[in-house]
Each structure stands twice: as structure tokens, then as C-alpha cells.
Structure 1
Amino acid sequence: MTNAPDFQPMGHRFRGFLPVVVDVETGGFNPQSDALLQVAAVLLRMDSEGRLYRHYTVARHVQPFEGANMDPKSLEVNGINPFHPLRIAHPEKDALATVFRSIREEMKLNACKRAILVGHNAGFDLSFINQGAERAGLKRNPFHPFSSLDTVTLSAMAFGQTVLARAVQAAGMKWDNSEAHSAVYDAEKTADLFCHVLNRWGPILQPSVDTHMDSG
């Protein structure tokens, strides 16, 4: 993937972290027992003026791992039929490896040492990503194991809203309820919201005084 003419590496913008916006759709709320069914990751870029924008999305349907629980109520909300004959789903290991590979490529281009997950209720998404990677035996999980950037907090600060749909609308962007609870749609809307809030706050082009990567 070639860089846009105004591409500015993000190595100093977030202390060496590459923000990656993630949304997962699952068979429940427990990452240890419930199936990971969809994963989408939105890669961001920063232009020469320090403004963030959505670059591209990598997504996969995921086959439930053996013995996975799938709560009918969760499937009703996300509209997923895990065993639909036309659903092109990949084993958990292959799906996550594809996403991780794209993230590592962007980390290199942006001179970043690690990725940090951005999400709406980010802890939920991170827990399923981490558990899926552990279950699949993937050793090169690019994400920080516990730190994340949460658009719930950003939306509460900027708009007084915590629900994704309301925050997106408060930011002046369109929201389509018929598309919601798709990992790709929710991830891309979360990415647009994240970029909007950070760009509204203003660019930070200069390196911080301390760029040392510690545990936080």
C-alpha cells in the first residue's frame, strides 16, 4: 500500500502506539466461553497537518471455536447465523492472523512499536481479541495487553453522549440503524467518531518530551 502525498507517520502522536479501531461481534459477553463471530479493524492515517482519517478496513467472519457458546439473544441482536451456508467464515486463528498482519504492516509504516485498540466500550473488544489470540496460539498479538482508547469516554466529554449511535449523530454524522451491529459498520463509525473528536481537539505534531514506552 502506497502512502498518500500528505501521509505523516504517527510514531510520535501517541507515544509510539498505533491506534487501531476494532469492533467484534460475538455469541455473548464472556470471551472465554462465547464465540468470536466477526472482527473488523480500521487502520487510520495522519495527514501532514496532523489530522487523522480513516485509511482502510480489514475484516473477517469467524468460525465459532469448538465448544463455543452462542447465546440466542446475542445472535438476535447482531443478526448472525453462524452456520449459514453462504457465510464465508475463517478459523479463528486465520482470521486474527490476517488482521494482525495488516496492523503490523501499518505499525512499520508509521514507526510505531505497538498498536493500541480503540473501541466503543473498548475493554469488551480487547478481551475477545486477547482471548482469541491466546486460544489460537498466536504469539504476535500487536495490541497492548490492557491499555486501550475508549470512544465512550471521548463522546461523553465532547457531546455528553455514551451510546455510539447518539454520539455519531451528535457529531453531525449519519447513522443507519439497519447497518448497526455489523462489525465493519460499527468499527468504521467508531473510527469516524474517534477521528472527529481528536481533530476537533487539534493536531499534535511535535514529539512529546517523554516518548519512552512503559507499561502504561
Structure 2
Amino acid sequence: MTDANVARQMSQRFRGYLPVVIDVETGGFNPSTDALLEIGATLITMDATGQLLPDTTYSAHITPFEGANVSESALAFTGIRLDSALRQSAAITEEKALSELFSMVRKAIKSHGCSRAILVGHNSAFDHQFLNAAIARSGIKRNPFHPFSSFDTATLGGFVYGQTVLAKACEAAGIAFDNEQAHAACYDTERTADLFCAMVNRYRDLGGWNLACREQGIDAHDDDNLY
């Protein structure tokens, strides 16, 4: 199968949207007042057989915006040390992080023939709200993500495996999960990407996707159509 056929299948699989897994670590629960401290993003691609695969990951430490709240309980939960010399030397502004991330996402959207990205997250509403708040603060006008739709792997994990906690859902899917590395945006986004791909691929392998195609009068095994 050619790269063009693979790109066409991805562009048709999710109604023209390219799934991009996002995880954020924050200074609290309020996206308007609490700091965005880390962001991780993993692109999703497709192989020649129609299976989804995690692709490139982007991650960044974020400098809290001016006046941002950072609660001690949030830092205790995530394990983030704001006074770490390594973090202070690596941290960048929200605007810079989003500009770098969006540049990567736009290139992936184009290469897969998609119209825009759609956020995938574990409890995705939380990640989406913080992403949109950071976009608004940064004054970014061209947001490659759908402004409100998302795929929630907590919901999908509950449906497929009976597990809504990320570590438990990964365990049920046969995905190794290290609790010592959890609550770091880079690690969590990569495990969430593994979980999302595992669930979508499982549905396809069990015949659900092929059945849906047949009900629409589409040949799911025809390279000129979609898997």
C-alpha cells in the first residue's frame, strides 16, 4: 500500500481529523487561574495495514504565566519541583511551547491529508480546557485542534476494558506502566497514545470497524476505501 493510500485512510478514519494525544500537568484544577506547568503531545499515525501507531512526541516544561496560582497539593501530586535547576533552565513560555507544538501538529495534519487535529486525552475535558486557556492567554489565532470535540480514553477504557484509571487500563491492555514515571506529561501522553491505539486497533481486529464499513456500503478491505 502506498503512502498516499495510508494518508487517505487516516484522513477518512476519524472524519478528517488527526488524533493527537495531549497531557498537561498543572498547578490546580482551574484553567483560568492555575498554572500550566508541563505539556506533552504524541502524534498518531497509521501503518500500511490500517493499524494506528504512536508517532513523534513533543514535551515541554512551562513557565507559569504571570499571576498564576500553583497549589502545594498539585505539586505534591505531580512531583514537579519549580525550584529545580534543570526545570528552570528548560522551562519556556506557554506561547513558545504552543507555537512549537502547533507547528509539528500542522505538518502532521498536512502529511496525513487531514483537515485539523482532534485532542485525545485521559479525562480529555481537563486537558482541553487548559489547552484552550493557554491558547487564549497567548493570543494564538490559528488553533489546529477542534475547539471542543475530543476523544476521552478514560471513557473508552471503561467501555473496552472496564477500567477508567490510566494505569489500570494500560495493565488490562497489556501495556507496561511505571507508576514512578506517572504524572510527567511526556510519560503519560505516550502511555495514553499506546492505550488509544490499542483500543482502536482492537475494535478493528474484532470486526467492528469492518462491520461499520459494510453497513455504509464500503469495502473495508479495498485500498481505495478506508480500513
TM-score after normalising by structure 1: 0.90
Q: Which residue of 1 aligns with 2:52?
A: 52
Q: Distance in 1 between matches of 2:188 and 2:174?
A: 16
Q: Which residue of 2 aligns with 1:167?
A: 169
Higher relative contact order (CA 8 A, sep 6+): 1
Cα drift, residue 11 of structure 1:
0.8
User: CA separation in 2, counterparts of 1:64 and 1:83?
Assistant: 12
- Distance between the aligned counterparts of 2:191 and 2:14, measured in 1? 21
**SS of residue matched to 2:11:** coil
1:89-128 aligned at under 5 Å gives the runs 89-128=91-130
Q: Which residue of 2 aligns with 1:213?
A: none
**SS of the residue 1:196 aligns to:** helix
CA contact (8 A) 1:64 1:82 kept: no
Partner Cα distance (2:5, 2:160) in 1: 27
The 2-side partners of 1:149 and 1:202 are apart by 17
TM-superposed CA distance for 1:86, in Å, is 1.8
Q: Distance in 2 between matches of 1:167 and 1:89?
A: 31
Residue number in structure 1 paired with 2:220: none
1:134-149 to structure 2, matched below 5 A, reads 134-149=136-151
Residue 177 (1) aligns with residue 179 (2): yes
Q: Mind listing any 5+ residue stretches in structure 1 that lack a counterpart?
A: 210-216
Deviation track 1:15-68 (CA, whole Å, cap 9, x = no partner) reads: 100000000000000000000010010001101211000111011110000000
User: Given residue 64 of structure 2, which amino acid in structure 1 is its aligned partner?
Assistant: P
Task: Provide the C-alpha distance between the structure 2 equivalents of 1:138 and 1:85, rounded to a whole number of angstroms.
Answer: 29
TM-fit CA distance, 1:198: 0.4
Does the CA contact (< 8 Å) of 1:21 and 1:43 recur in 2?
A: yes
Provide the C-alpha distance between the structure 2 equivalents of 1:115 and 1:105, rounded to a whole number of angstroms: 11
Structure with greater Cα Rg: 2
Contact kept, 8 Å, 1:6 with 1:48, in 2: the verdict is no
Q: Percentage identity across aligned positions?
A: 50
Rounded to whole Å, the distance in 1 between the matches of 2:17 and 2:185 is: 23
- Residue 82 of structure 1 deviates from its aligned partner by 2.3
Unaligned runs of 5+ in 2: 218-227
DSSP-derived class of the 1:69 partner? coil
Alignment RMSD (CA, Å): 2.0
Alpha-carbon distance between aligned partners in 2 of 1:89 and 1:28, rounded to the nearest angstrom: 18
- Provide the residue aligned with 1:132 in structure 2: 134
Distance 1:150 1:132, change over 3 A: same
Identify, as 1 or 2, the structure richer in helix: 2
Give the distance between the partners of 2:201 and 2:4, measured in 1 at CA.
16
Is 1:71 paired with 2:71?
yes
Task: Give 1:6 deviation, angstroms.
Answer: 9.6
Contact persistence 1:7–1:47 (CA under 8 A): no
Q: What is the SS of the residue equivalent to 2:6?
A: coil
1:138 positional shift? 0.8
Change (3 A) 1:28 1:102: same
Q: Name the count of aligned residue pairs.
A: 206
User: What TM-score comes out, normalization by structure 2 length?
Assistant: 0.86
CA displacement at 1:95 relative to structure 2: 0.6
Give the corresponding residue for 1:199: 201
**Residue 8 of structure 1, aligned match among 6, 9, 19:** 6
- State the AA in 2 paired with 1:17: Y
